Amino acid sequence: GQSLEQPSEVTAVEGAIVQINCTYQTSGFYGLSWYQQHDGGAPTFLSYNALDGLEETGRFSSFLSRSDSYGYLLLQELQMKDSASYFCASNTGGFKTIFGAGTRLFVKA
């Protein structure tokens, strides 16, 4: 089957750095996406890794290791507005996207 595992909750302090991990088991793996979702809102796309390595977009970075079936999202200089759920998603051949159950990030002052 296809599955993505990520921690259910992470708590961090404002201004700190937090890493949200994702391990996957999917057939026909093409790449790993990350989405952010605030309570009551819609998911919004953050980043995508098709190749091994780090992708940086402002305060957010995403990493992929295909050999380890592992990726992570790194959030730097945490702000209160970063409190949200974060989903990793596996893109299988461009046709189907499978989502993890999500990690709820709590940012404390």
Partner 1 sequence: NAGVTQTPKFQVLKTGQSMTLQCAQDMNHEYMSWYRQDPGMGLRLIHYSVGAGITDQGEVPNGYNVSRSTTEDFPLRLLSAAPSQTSVYFCASSYSRDRAYEQYFGPGTRLTVT
Q: Can you tell me the distance from the alpha carbon of 79 to that of 15, in angstroms, rounded to the nearest whole number?
A: 6
Stretch in the footprint of partner 1 (CB under 8 A) among 13-21, 61-69, 71-79, 100-108: 100-108
Alpha carbon 34 to chain centroid, angstroms: 4
Nearest residue (CB) to partner 1, 67 versus 93: 93
Nearest residue (CB) to partner 1, 33 versus 61: 33
For partner 1, the binding residue among 13, 45, 54, 79 (CB under 8 A) is 45
* 107 sits near partner 1 (criterion: CB under 8 A): no
Phi, psi angles (nearest 5°) of residue 88:
-90, 150
Question: If DSSP codes are grouped into helix, strand and coil, which group holds residue 13?
Answer: strand
- Measured CA to CA in angstroms, residue 56 lies from 32, 69, 87, 97 at distances of 14, 20, 17, 22
Judge whether 56 and 38 are in contact, CB under 8 Å: no
* 87 sits near partner 1 (criterion: CB under 8 A): yes
Contact characters 66-85, partner 1, x per CB under 8 A: --------------------
Residues in contact with partner 1 by the rule CB under 8 A: 4, 8, 30-31, 33, 41-45, 48, 50, 87, 89, 91, 94-102
